[in-house]
């Protein structure tokens, strides 16, 4: 399965080792396993992208809710309603397997809460 050669540059000695399968798997079985792993690579990549989108969405939800608590009554009614609607929309797609929807709703919440973030930083400055 694996061939390794090492050479000591100082002495010039060279050693070789060959690792072979001892589990009794045939070459065909090993090749099938490699093919299976390669065929699932794209599936695994998509799953990791979905998890990353969910994590980003979750972080945005948490940060937005915390900011809303801190600002309290400083938000105008329309701004608060817009942000709450974006929060509800994002929470509604969090459990889905549609990465694009999650990312779109996260972007919508980011845009809806941008003015709130400006107010929060203005109050601190």
Domain layout of the chain by residue ranges: 2-124
The model carries a pTM of 0.67
pLDDT of residue 79: 86
Measured CA distances, 44 to 53, 55, 69, 109 (Å): 14, 17, 38, 28
Any idea what the Cα angle at residue 76 is, between residues 72 and 77, rounded to 5°?
100
- H-assigned helices in the chain: 27-71, 77-93, 99-112, 114-124
Per-residue pLDDT of the chain (125 residues; tens, 9 = 90+): 678 888 888 888 888 888 776 667 778 888 898 888 888 888 899 999 999 999 999 999 999 999 888 876 778 888 889 999 999 999 999 999 999 999 999 999 999 988 787 776 776 65
Please state the φ and ψ torsions of residue 67, each to the nearest 5 degrees. Answer: -65, -40
The pLDDT, as a whole number, for residue 51 is 95
Q: For the domain with range 2-124, which CATH number is right: 1.20.1260.10, 1.20.1270.10, 3.40.50.970, 3.40.50.300?
A: 1.20.1270.10
Cα-Cα-Cα-Cα dihedral sign, residues 96, 99, 102, 105? negative
């Amino acid at each position: 399965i694996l061939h390794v050669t090492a050479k000591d540059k100082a002495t010039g000695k060279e050693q070789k080792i060959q690792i072979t399968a001892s589990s009794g798997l045939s070459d065909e079985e090993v090749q099938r396993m490699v093919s299976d792993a390669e065929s699932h690579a794209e599936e695994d990549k998509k799953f990791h992208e979905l998890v990353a989108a969910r994590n980003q969405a979750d972080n945005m939800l948490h940060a937005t809710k915390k900011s809303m608590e801190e600002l309290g009554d400083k938000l105008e009614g329309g701004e608060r309603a817009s942000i709450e609607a974006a929060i509800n929309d994002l929470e509604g797609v969090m459990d889905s397997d549609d990465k694009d929807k999650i990312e779109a709703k996260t972007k919508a919440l980011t845009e809806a809460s941008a003015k709130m973030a400006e107010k929060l930083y203005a109050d601190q400055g």
